[in-house]
Amino acid sequence: MINNKITIDVSQFSEDPWGRDEQDNPISSGAAFRKQYLIEAFNQYDKVIVDFSKLQDMPDSGFLGESFVGLVKHDGFTYEEVLKKLVVLPQDEFYPITVEQIITLARDEYKRVNMQGK
């Protein structure tokens, strides 16, 4: 890794991010956020701090899933890499728990599905 950490203020991306992909929301979807901010950050930094604290409303699960689980499904990262590098703010709110649960559920489902085929 070149640098230690980066902080991404989600409100700089959109005041109202929502939706999984460009079909849901062509301007501020989870896929757009991942492509514009997260892929490069996860490639270049040891810690990626994603700050939701300036948003009035929490983004929907489609946005959160596509932003973070999408790093695994589309961009070659592992679930463990994403969980290890990601820091979600504000820490005193439900954002970190919600994001971690979305990533963990996707990881566990991936493992379960792949174990059935063996």
Q: What is the pTM of this model?
A: 0.92
Q: Which two tokens stand for residue 38?
A: 């997260």
pLDDT in tens, 62-100: 999 999 999 999 999 999 999 999 999 998 778 999 999
Its domain, for residue 19, covers 3-116
Task: State whether residue 74 is helix, strand or coil.
Answer: helix
Q: What's the number of domains the chain is made of?
A: 1
Whole-angstrom Cα distance, residue 1 to residue 84? 14
